[in-house]
Amino acid sequence: MNEHDPSVVTNACAGICASPSSVEALNNECFCLAVDVPALHAKLSNVLGVYGLRGALAVTHPHLFSALPIYVSRRHLEQTANVVAAVEEVVALPAYQSAALAWAPDIARFDPGSPGGLLGLDFHLGIDGPRLIEINTNPGGVLLNAMLGQAQHACMPEITKPPTAVGRVDSDILEVMLTEWQLQRGSASLGLVAIVDESPTQQYLYPEFLLFRELFRRHGYRAEICGPEDLVLGDGRLWLGESSVDLLYNRLTDFAFQQPAQAAIRTAYLTGKVIVSPHPRAHALYADKRNLNLLGRRDFLQSAGASKTAVETLVAGVPKTELLTPDNRDAMWAARRHLFFKPSAGFGSKAAYRGDKLTRRVWDEMAGASYVAQELVVPSERRTDAQSPPLKVDIRCYAYRGRVMLYAARIYQGQTTNFRTPGGGFSPVLTAEDSR
């Protein structure tokens, strides 16, 4: 029997899990194969090999993709979309911007005139519904997840379907980048796009950099991948080799361009010589973890002028988050088993700790850094078979200007998301055909 044959998958599902009590119950009951991962790896390897990626993706990235989908109810998807829209409403308020910029680096006060690009809003589906865990301004995986969604077999098409049109993601993402350009440059022609990160070929998601480069090239734009040290200032422009750079797709995690290698980028950005997306102001307004203290507080939201709908949505959707200070450290340590600690400007779960796993040594080391303590929201789970223990699940909304463009999931084991879990990785999201 060919386990990757869609007809076999559909027949298996029809006999095992075609009448679930709810669509989300399928995460515990349905183990049908929904993605032909070997075929997807082979396709990506072939595509990326043409553009310079050496080696089979199945070898270099064995746990990038999960074969199983994650099922999310329509109600929960609507709730996440409402949170996305409410965040966008509040971030535009002057009182919110003033509060968020008060703890931001000076560079964030420069407003280049655009929102800053694609966001990744990460949720846990807790017992009280979706809860916003964090916001990212340079979220990885969107084009990889678009390919994953297209490779996903329509598991039980009478019951489930993708919540967004995955075939439109490439054009939607290109539109985001062009909108960033047009908001700052109007009708001027876009020349070279530089995709920048430290040691880009060594990054785990370098395959996606290649996909972004080819997306631009496929639509007639010049695009290259580079490190920050490859960019130099000269004659009032930012240069990559012999070509001046118009748009910088920024995948750096030095969000304020503070490192010496980012000096040319910083100067070009602040003098308006290059468009940067995402930019430092966007990170300060959306992604600093301290902002969750503002977004989840009823008193602040009301005083800032948020609508009643936005207030109720965010109070319900954002876990209680407090700044860790010398005055509350003892109380936070005592309550640590119910908290998750994150560095204020952190990324990729680095230096983030579940309180019940935290040692006194690490706690003492944290005293010299800026941290927030977030109410622990236990993630939902996905069983991969009837015998193995379940894995954890995060839901990511890729969004721009308050609109969700793609839903994706990450399946993992451990304290935080990773791509080292057998059976884990990026996973397509499916929802119910009906109102379940």
**Average pLDDT over every residue of 57-68:** 86
Any bridge partners for residue 428, and if so which? 408
Query: Roughly what angle, to the nearest 10 degrees, separates helices 142-151 and 169-185?
Result: 150
Question: pLDDT tens across 131-167, in order?
Answer: 999 999 989 999 999 988 888 776 677 778 889 998 8
Residue 83 and residue 313 in contact, taking contact as beta carbons nearer than 8 Å? yes
| DSSP annotation string for 176-195 | HHHHHHHHHHTTPPP-EEEE
Q: Measured between alpha carbons, how far is 180 from 117 in angstroms, rounded to an integer?
A: 7
Domains and CATH numbers, the chain: 189-277 (3.40.50.20)
Q: Measured between alpha carbons, how far is 407 from 122 in angstroms, rounded to an integer?
A: 10
Q: Residue 208, SS3?
A: helix
Q: Which residue has the higher pLDDT, 385 or 17?
A: 385
User: If residue 101 lies in a helix (H) or strand (E), which one and from where to where?
Assistant: helix 94-101
pLDDT at 16 over 80: no
Predicted local confidence at residue 56, as pLDDT = 72
Amino acid identity at 354? R
Q: Measured between alpha carbons, how far is 72 from 123 in angstroms, rounded to an integer?
A: 12
User: If residue 374 lies in a helix (H) or strand (E), which one and from where to where?
Assistant: strand 371-375
Q: What is the DSSP secondary structure assignment for residue 389, as one 8-state letter?
A: P
Question: pLDDT tens across 368-393, in order?
Answer: 888 999 999 999 999 988 888 999 99
Residue identified by tokens 């954002």 is: 318
The C-alpha angle with vertex 258 and arms to 347 and 237, in degrees rounded to 5, equals 115
Q: Measured between alpha carbons, how far is 432 from 52 in angstroms, rounded to an integer?
A: 40
Lowest mean pLDDT segment, chosen from 92-96, 402-406, 428-432? 428-432
**Helices of type H across 56-93:** 57-60, 74-91
Residue 229 and residue 254 in contact, taking contact as beta carbons nearer than 8 Å? no
Torsion of Cα atoms, 164 then 165 then 166 then 168, to 10°: -130
Average pLDDT of the chain, as a whole number: 90
Q: Tokens standing for 358?
A: 């935290």
E strand spans, 162-310: 192-196, 223-226, 231-234, 237-240, 243-250, 275-277
Q: What is the DSSP secondary structure assignment for residue 260, as one 8-state letter?
A: G
Q: Measured between alpha carbons, how far is 378 from 124 in angstroms, rounded to an integer?
A: 7
pTM: 0.92
